[in-house]
Every structure is written in structure tokens, then in C-alpha cells.
Structure 1
Amino acid sequence: MRNNWTVASILDQLIEKQIAFACWFFPNESRLGLIVGNASDVVFFDRFDQLNGEAGFVFAPYCITEKSPVILLQSNTFFEDFSQEDSLDLAGFEPFSKNEDTGIYEFQSKEDYLELIGKTVTEIREGALSKVIISRQIPTKRTDTSLGSTFLQLHDQTPNAFTYLVNLPVAGIWMGATPEILIKSDGEQFETVSLAGTQVRKSDADEYYWSTKDIEEQAFVSRYMLDVFFNFDIHKYKTKGPETLESGKVAHLKTSFFFPAEKIGKCMGNFIADLHPTPAVCGLPKDLAAEFIQKNEEHERKYYTGYLGPWRLNQQVALFVNLRCMEITSAEFILYVGGGITSRSIPEKEWDETNQKAKTLLSVINPEG
């Protein structure tokens, strides 16, 4: 039986002592995974395919830069089901140097965001782009509330999401609750997911109806998945969906793909490098969308829309796309949210969609708001 107060206290102490760690709950599970390491147990990579043959907890960015490398926390101490009975000698770990926190951020106004969405829609209608994901940051003043307790509350409120809290060199402190699998293995087969389209979550009695825009957006991502399969000679696979996935305050359209594990067993890093970023976080055509984002988004995404999770820990691979997440600085919670823009997008509705997505996190860090 997990004592939430004790666990929250331990997580807070790990943060206070600058000890590298990652903790997480898998969707619909109550077991808390926890990996803790010394500063020397943290490895940095400048290519996604360098994960081949490695093992640990991976925290990867949307786009690799000098300030946002792929981070792997190797397994010094690993618990698949951490509880208060487990002994964890915090004095035995070597802390890492505190990350530089300038506290200076410039956030986009609603007016500027709407202008960018309008520009994106025009670009799509007139050019070769089919879809572009445009994101924004939402700053919220940080309180002195326990981050460990906030994390456990986030899990309680979004039990069907992958919820996590990490404290890592370079990246700093991040927390999130993401519904999207990048790739997951049960040993015999891999699963990857095409997820797109968003609407407000309904009550149990109400049915979901999806717009042409949402269906089209989700189909873009599914077609991309099949192109990656072809590149790795994956021709036999199973699908499930499209179906509605509820997560936090919103719902999405989801299609799951399953294929034999032996197809990428020795080249998982290469497969991930080809798969990421998917159109669900970037757009289509991928190269043109990535170029548009780089030129027009004013902020750095860092680890938002990257991926994270256990990587060959006890031979398990379970990576999730880093959505519904926030970066935690000394003064603020910086939420990252985004939406898929197509030729049918309406700027004001896109603004509303990002606000809906933010409610999953805002409900635990600012419950009175």
C-alpha cells in the first residue's frame, strides 16, 4: 500500500537535494515507477538513433539542440512499484549542478497567437502544407505547494494517461500527463498510436461526433505511420480504431497499430528517429511543417512534444509523446499546449482548444482558478 504523503515527501527531497530522478505511472495503473541516479548516471545524446543498445529512462526533446539534448538516466536504483516501505538512502546519491534559471521568458499574447494561426491557415491554403502544429506557452505563478503532492494529484485526476515527474540535468523539472503512446512493447509485438483531433470531454451519457477537420487531421497521422512501416519492411500489422480516447478534460481520435517485435528489435533507436516527430506534433509534409514551425513559433519547445519513458528497463520499452506538460522554474509553471492547424481551422476556436488542453494541468496547480 502506497502512502502518498511519504512518497510526495521523498520526491520533494529528491528535487531539493538536486538528485536526478524520473517517476511515472502507466495509464490505468497504480504502481509508481521510480529511477534515481547520480550525476554520472546521466548520459546525453545528440542523435535519436544513439539510443540503440542503451537502457534507462529516456527524456527526449522535440528537436535536438545544444540546450535540449536527448537525456538518458541510466538505472542506478530502479523500483517498478515504489512505496513507503522501500528504503531509499538519499545521502548515497551524487547531486547534479543546479540548472541555470534566468527567469526571463517572453510569452505570446492572444492577439499575436491569432495572427499566427491566420497566417498558418493562409499558408496551407496557398502552398504545399496540409497541416501544421502550432504551440504556445501558458505561464502560471508557482506556489509553494509540494511538487510531489501535485504529481500524485495529477495521476489521480488523469488515471488513463501516462503521468510523470522528472528532475534532470539540463532539462530541469518537468511534469505532465500524456495520453499518446509513441511506441510500446509487450515483448512479442510493438504498439504505436496515431492520435489527433480534440474536443471537450463529454459526460458518460453523451455520444461523440467528430468534425471533418478532426477526422482529416487524424488520417494524416495514420498515413504517416504506414509510410514509416514501409521504410522498415513492416507489411503485416493490425489496427484498432479510429476510436475516441478520453484523457483529462478532453477527448481525441485514436488509431492503434500493432506489429511483430522482431521487425525492429535491433534497431529501435533508428525506428524512433524515423518516427519522431510524427505529424501529430509537427505536421505534413513533415519537413515543410518543421521548417514553418522553426521560423514562426517564437518560443523553443524544448521537451514539449518530445518523448519519454522507460527504455529497455527490465527489457521493457514504453515511450510516450510529451503532451499536456509543463516546465517548472523557480518562479513559474510554464504550460505547453498546441493544436493541429489545417485549411479548415478557425483561429478563435484554436485558441479555445489550447485553453481546454491546459485545464488538465491547471486543475491541479491552480484549482481555484
Structure 2
Amino acid sequence: MIDVKETSLKSMLDRAINEAKNNQSSPLLSMTKKIHDINPLRFFEAAEQLAMNRSFWSATAETFYIVGAGSACDLADGAKTIEQMEENWQNLLAEAIIHNPYKTSGTGLLTLGGMSFDRAEHKSERWKNFSHLSFIIPEFILTKNDDSCYLTINIRVREDDHPGQLAERMKRMERTLLDSSVSLPRALSIKSTEDVAPSEWKQTVKCAADYIKQHHADKIVLARELQVKLSDEAHITPILRGLIETQTNSYVFAFERGEDCFLGASPERLVKQDKDKVLSTCLAGTAPRGKTQKEDARIANSLLHDEKNRSEHDFVVKMIRQSMDHYCFNVDVPEKPVIYPLKNLQHLYTPVTATLRKWHSIFDIIGKLHPTPALGGVPREKSLAFIRNHERLDRGWYGAPVGWLDSNFNGEFAVGIRSGLVQGDQVSLFAGCGIVRDSDPEEEYDETNIKFMPMLSVLGG
């Protein structure tokens, strides 16, 4: 990593082009500056005017946003495993020319993306635009952290580039992206919904429970799909706005690939890195919210003492701790879970904190954690085998890690649940639940209906 002090885009481009000529390479130039406050959703909407694929990340509880526009490169290009992608990241960092005097989390050279839930599965036509691994370094990144806003420009520079022309092109695009007068489109309405094979899904739940009773597995997570037809082609910005306004304590995300967009509001953090400190959270065990404060407290107390939900939760806690032990020390796990409230649901919640060992990274932990028992099952390989053989759904990026990391050893990944795939005027929504030996198909079906609510509500349902 070459850390430079120049502040002029043209002077940095001059340096990068000279480096490209001298080394016969194509270095990535990354420049971060502080800018006036701007609505992240207007930046996101303006990027569509430039026909740029977009990425969006928001931690709603922290007033933290990252919005990406365009693509300077895809880290996962040529990589088939997380390990190969991390090697690409480290090589890129070693050669990049970076100007970032702020060192604020989410600034500097940064990548956003995700992966398939099961990379061993053959990808269906529906997910054709989403590679099994895809992490984009956007051309433009807006980072909003509390009251401060930053703009990062990333450019892949070649030896025959003209610095003046390239600088002018980037400035024109910047003016468009930072135009505060960009209007936000209105939300659409739902025309119809179709539950995909509900009877077959309930039968699969029964089959999974029988499989568990025969001691082949302890838990299997099954997902299903709800297809939504909208009144017109979807606008992504108002969907994100609705999720931000309604889904507090969640990670609101969107990743465009071609004409398609995978988006959602996940309450489940997979792992967060702050230098050498890491945090993972167990969010397993679900109940609805009450209509009154008294009813809400009663449901929460029942969830805390429910044997099925506590057992499901403990599976996840144990697995996360074992995974952290591989790459961390000072692993700390509270003895009992607490309630994590959302607008429509409440969950059992246990945080796991640790210190990352030297020479290990957030990618190591992601590879070890995914899929957690909350999304796959226990034991992992047997539950995944059952899902591959019995689940009708191609999960794609649903239930898989999505998130970001930067060149200052910060990053955060969530599990892509409470989510959907937008394709024109069609949206495929996904929801799942953990099946154990005494699971009732009708109750599990009702639980997935509750989990569809966050997305349905912002689509106009």
C-alpha cells in the first residue's frame, strides 16, 4: 500500500500513470476527501442516472451508511474460494496508491459484496447475474458516519490514460452524484402474491423432523419463497427508505448486478472487525411482538424460557465460540441470552467478542462461521446435504454473508436474511426457520409468514 499526501486528483493521477508506465501495471488509485452533508439515498438514486450498478449498506442503529456507485474492479474475479479472494485483496492493497487522511471506519479503499449460501450448488437462471463470490470496489463511495460525510474515488489507472481528461470525467460524475436536488421516486404497490408450493414445504418440514428423530441431525434450517408482483418496475431507493425507517436495529443492504438487485434488512450480524477486535452475534429463537407493552413482555419472557428456542439458540452460540477459538483469543460469551427487539419480531440474542490473532482476517472468520446453525443446521454437513436434496429453492445470496471491509482493518458482515431478489416488477422474498425433532409444520409455516413482513410492508403490502 502506497500512502500518499497529495490532495489534487490530477497530481495523484500523474503519479499513478507514471507508476503504470514504469512497472507495466494498472494500479488502483484511491482518494478520500471530506464533503458537505448529503442524503445517502439521493446519492444512490443519482447513481442510477449514470447507469452505474449500486451497492448500499446501512447500520440503522448507528447512523452509518456506505453507498457505492460503479465498479473499479471485482475482487472475486477469477477467485473460486474465500481464500483466493482474500489473496486478491491483499495483492490489491500492496499495489494501491491511497490518499486517506481520515482513517474513519468505512473510508479509504473499500469493497462491498457477498456470496452464495451454498457455492457447491449449481446456480439457477434466476441468480445468473450473481456470482458465487462477488466483491466490488466501487468507482465512487459515499460514507456517512454520524454527522460526517466522505467521498472516495477509486480509479484503475493505465499507462495510456490522460490525467487531465480522466480527472475531468471523474469530476463530472462527482457533480451528478452529489446533486442534492435529485428527486426520490415514489414507492409502488403490490399487485399480487403467490406462495410457492406451501404444501410441499410443510411436507419437507415433517420429513426433516423425522430425519432428526432418527438421530441423523439435530437441526435443519429450511427456507421457502413468496413471489410478489408489483404494480410497475421496482425502484430500489424507496424500498431502502422504507426499510431504514421501519427496521431499526437492522442492517439495510442492496447489491445490484446487471438489472437485478438483492436487498433486505437483516437483524443478524455475522461478524464485525475493528482493527484486531471482532464481534459476532447469535440471533436464533424467534417470537412475534405483542400488541401491548404487557403482552410484549409476556411473549419475551416466554421466549427466554422456551425449550425449543433456547436449544436452537444454544446450537448457534456453541458453534460461534468454537469458530472464534480457531482464529482469536480472549473469546468472551455471556452465560445467558437477552431479548433483541425488532418492529415485527423479537429474538434471543448473545454477543461474542474476541481478539483476532496476528496473520488472520475477517475472511477467515467468515469462512469458518458460514453457514451458522441459524441458517444451515447441526451438524453442518448433514444439514446442508438434507437441504440440497429436499429444498426446492435455490437460495442464491439469501442467508449468506453480505457486507464490506476497508483498507484500515475495519469491516462488517451480516447474514442476508429478511431479504428479496428484485427483477423488474417481480420480487422473490425468502424466509426460513430452524426445524428440530418436535417442530410442527403449521407453526413453522406461520413463523416464516411473520419473517416476510418486513419486506412486504415496504413493497406496499
- Which position in structure 1 is the counterpart of 2:182? none
- Which position in structure 2 is the counterpart of 1:225? 320
- Which position in structure 1 is the counterpart of 2:261? 173
- Which position in structure 2 is the counterpart of 1:340? 434
- Which position in structure 2 is the counterpart of 1:103? none
1:118 partnered with 2:206: yes
- Which position in structure 1 is the counterpart of 2:448? 354
- Which position in structure 2 is the counterpart of 1:60? 115
**How do 1:3-22 and structure 2 match up within 5 A?**
8=41, 10-12=43-45, 14-15=47-48, 18-22=51-55
C-alpha spacing 1:349/1:84, structure 2 compared with 1 (3 Å): same
- Which position in structure 2 is the counterpart of 1:99? none
Decide which moves more: 71-80 or 210-219.
Answer: 71-80
1:77 partnered with 2:140: yes
1:192 partnered with 2:280: yes
- Which position in structure 1 is the counterpart of 2:413? 319
Partner of residue 224 from structure 2, selected from 131, 136, 147: 136
- Which position in structure 2 is the counterpart of 1:163? 252
Residues in 1 aligned to 2:247 and 2:263: alpha-carbon distance in whole angstroms? 13
Aligned residues of 1:43 and 1:74 also touching (Cα < 8 A): no
Partner of residue 83 from structure 2, selected from 36, 40, 49: 49
**TM superposition score normalised by structure 2:** 0.69
The higher relative CO (CA closer than 8 Å, separation ≥ 6) is in 1
Aligned residues of 2:401 and 2:415 also touching (Cα < 8 A): yes
Partner of residue 25 from structure 1, selected from 58, 67, 74: 58
* Structure 2: gaps of 5 or more residues: 1-35, 90-109, 152-170, 178-193
The amino acid of 2:421's aligned partner reads: E
Partner of residue 306 from structure 1, selected from 400, 405, 415: 400
- Which position in structure 2 is the counterpart of 1:287? 381
**1:186 CA drift (Å):** 2.2
Aligned residues of 2:321 and 2:333 also touching (Cα < 8 A): no
Residues in 1 aligned to 2:172 and 2:195: alpha-carbon distance in whole angstroms? 40
Residues in 2 aligned to 1:317 and 1:154: alpha-carbon distance in whole angstroms? 22
Spell out, residue by residue over 1:69-106, the C-alpha distance to the aligned partner (whole angstroms, 9 max, x if none): 1111114322211999978827999xxxxxxxxxxxx9
SS at match of 1:343: coil
**Could you say which structure has the larger radius of gyration?**
2
The amino acid of 1:352's aligned partner reads: D
Aligned residues of 1:21 and 1:73 also touching (Cα < 8 A): no
- Which position in structure 1 is the counterpart of 2:10? none
The amino acid of 2:247's aligned partner reads: T
Residues in 1 aligned to 2:172 and 2:390: alpha-carbon distance in whole angstroms? 46
SS at match of 1:304: coil
Residues in 2 aligned to 1:135 and 1:12: alpha-carbon distance in whole angstroms? 32
Residues in 2 aligned to 1:142 and 1:361: alpha-carbon distance in whole angstroms? 13
Partner of residue 36 from structure 1, selected from 28, 45, 69: 69
- Which position in structure 2 is the counterpart of 1:101? none
**1:224 CA drift (Å):** 1.1
* Structure 1: gaps of 5 or more residues: 94-105
Aligned residues: 350
- Which position in structure 1 is the counterpart of 2:340? 245
Decide which moves more: 61-70 or 191-200.
Answer: 61-70
SS at match of 2:117: coil
Residues in 1 aligned to 2:173 and 2:371: alpha-carbon distance in whole angstroms? 38
Decide which moves more: 205-214 or 110-119.
Answer: 205-214
C-alpha spacing 1:90/1:143, structure 2 compared with 1 (3 Å): farther
Residues in 2 aligned to 1:181 and 1:229: alpha-carbon distance in whole angstroms? 14
Instruction: Give the RMSD, CA atoms, in angstroms.
Output: 2.8
SS at match of 1:251: strand
The amino acid of 2:118's aligned partner reads: C
C-alpha spacing 1:331/1:286, structure 2 compared with 1 (3 Å): same
Aligned residues of 2:404 and 2:411 also touching (Cα < 8 A): yes
Aligned residues of 2:264 and 2:416 also touching (Cα < 8 A): yes
Aligned residues of 1:172 and 1:328 also touching (Cα < 8 A): yes
Residues in 2 aligned to 1:148 and 1:313: alpha-carbon distance in whole angstroms? 28
- Which position in structure 1 is the counterpart of 2:173? 89
C-alpha spacing 1:31/1:296, structure 2 compared with 1 (3 Å): same
**1:249 CA drift (Å):** 0.8
Residues in 1 aligned to 2:355 and 2:150: alpha-carbon distance in whole angstroms? 38
Residues in 2 aligned to 1:131 and 1:216: alpha-carbon distance in whole angstroms? 10
Residues in 2 aligned to 1:330 and 1:302: alpha-carbon distance in whole angstroms? 18
- Which position in structure 1 is the counterpart of 2:101? none
- Which position in structure 2 is the counterpart of 1:96? none
**1:315 CA drift (Å):** 3.0
Percent identity between the two aligned chains: 21
The amino acid of 1:32's aligned partner reads: Y
SS at match of 2:341: strand
The amino acid of 1:56's aligned partner reads: T
**1:8 CA drift (Å):** 4.2
Aligned residues of 1:29 and 1:159 also touching (Cα < 8 A): no
Spell out, residue by residue over 1:115-155, the C-alpha distance to the aligned partner (whole angstroms, 9 max, x if none): 11111111110132000000001111123353201211111
